[in-house]
């Protein structure tokens, strides 16, 4: 089974990665999205970040934070736009008839466009979504566009481990096979809150709620709902720099590539960007750190692996 997943880390995690020279990492055949492009706040300067956070703790004006975020986006989008101009262009007529694909967060953005593309290839699509009303709207849209009636909606709330277990049990009962799992759903920079199980929301949804990935990928800077929790100045920046960002269709291409490309059948554990293999950071390749993270995660979730 291919597993893929775009990984949406918390801002603090991204900043820490950047200070260590990290890059963005994201997607699996399990596909997962992850933050490792090196174009993070750390590129702006650790001193600026530390000073900014100190000012924030003293409850000073948020103007400096807004400016830093603007600067961060300008640097990131500038480099991402240059990359997009030179990125590999990929197309494939591969069919997925008879195969079952699970996509989390398939009701909007990259997840919806991924579902649309794979449905057009003949796959059975399981749309794993928290908001069933929006999922039904997305299903109707995809059905009308592709003519593929093999689209089913299943309830999944990644902020609740009971919902995750119930979803897994239902899939084991209903589906004879799962060929591709795409961990697309994620959140970023949301107001501080906790999951049903008491974990910080971004940690719980983006990491503990998705599990391990076979492939990770970076979709690029995409015009999606991921920005909905941002400060107002960031919302303005998103609109101003819109010309340099990817549409959701363009942002879904690397996820689709990792799910469909036949040459990846014999591969595992890769990191991809712009429909091609990419280099991840040294920290992301640290097996000792990965093992420690695995053990901590299992302990938080009360899971024992023999």
- Averaged pLDDT of the chain: 77
Q: For residues 183 and 104, give the distance between their C-alpha atoms in angstroms, rounded to a whole number.
A: 5
Q: For residues 260 and 217, give the distance between their C-alpha atoms in angstroms, rounded to a whole number.
A: 14
Q: For residues 267 and 141, give the distance between their C-alpha atoms in angstroms, rounded to a whole number.
A: 34
Q: For residues 120 and 232, give the distance between their C-alpha atoms in angstroms, rounded to a whole number.
A: 37
> CA dist 167 to 109, 201, 299, Å?
22, 19, 21
**Position with higher pLDDT, 219 vs 277:** 277
Q: For residues 1 and 106, give the distance between their C-alpha atoms in angstroms, rounded to a whole number.
A: 19
Cβ atoms of 55 and 47 closer than 8 Å = no
- % of the chain residues with pLDDT over 90: 46
Angle (nearest 5°) at CA 41 between 230 and 197: 55
Mean per-residue pLDDT for 178-191? 89
**Position with higher pLDDT, 267 vs 69:** 267
Q: Is the pLDDT of residue 162 over 90?
A: yes
> CA dist 233 to 41, 84, 181, 264, 288, Å?
16, 25, 35, 41, 39
- Which of 140-144, 232-236, 254-258 comes out lowest in average pLDDT? 232-236
Mean per-residue pLDDT for 284-294? 91
Q: In sequence order, which ranges of 107-242 are alpha helices (DSSP H)?
A: 109-120, 132-146, 161-174, 201-203, 232-240
The structure's pTM equals 0.71
| pLDDT at residue 31, rounded to an integer | 52
Cβ atoms of 50 and 42 closer than 8 Å = no
């Amino acid at each position: 089974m291919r597993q893929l997943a775009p990984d949406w880390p918390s801002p603090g995690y991204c900043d820490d990665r950047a200070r260590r020279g990290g890059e963005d990492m994201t997607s699996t055949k399990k596909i997962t999205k992850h933050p490792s492009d090196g174009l993070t706040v750390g590129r702006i300067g650790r001193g600026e970040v530390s000073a900014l956070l100190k000012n924030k703790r003293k409850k000073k004006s948020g103007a400096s934070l807004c400016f830093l975020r603007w600067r961060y986006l300008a640097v990131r989008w500038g480099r991402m736009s240059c990359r997009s101009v030179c990125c590999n262009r990929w197309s494939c007529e591969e069919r997925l008839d008879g195969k079952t694909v699970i996509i989390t967060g398939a009701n909007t953005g990259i997840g919806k466009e991924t579902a649309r593309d794979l449905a057009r290839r003949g796959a059975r699509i399981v749309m794993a979504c928290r908001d069933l009303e929006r999922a039904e709207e997305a299903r109707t849209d995809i059905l009308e566009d592709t003519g593929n009636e093999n689209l089913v909606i299943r309830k999944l709330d990644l902020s609740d481990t009971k919902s995750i277990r119930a979803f897994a049990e239902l899939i084991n009962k209903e589906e004879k096979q799962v060929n591709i799992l795409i961990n697309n759903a994620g959140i970023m920079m949301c107001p501080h809150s906790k999951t049903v199980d008491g974990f910080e929301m971004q940690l719980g949804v983006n990491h503990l709620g998705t599990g391990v990935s076979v492939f990770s990928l970076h979709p690029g800077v995409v015009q999606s709902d991921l920005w909905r929790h941002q400060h107002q100045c960031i919302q303005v920046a998103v609109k101003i720099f819109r010309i340099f960002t990817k549409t959701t269709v363009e942002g879904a291409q690397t996820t689709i590539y990792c799910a469909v490309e036949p040459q990846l059948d014999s591969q595992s554990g890769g990191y991809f960007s712009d429909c091609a293999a990419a280099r991840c950071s040294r920290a992301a390749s640290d097996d000792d750190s990965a093992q420690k993270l695995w053990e901590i995660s299992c302990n938080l979730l009360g899971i024992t692996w023999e």
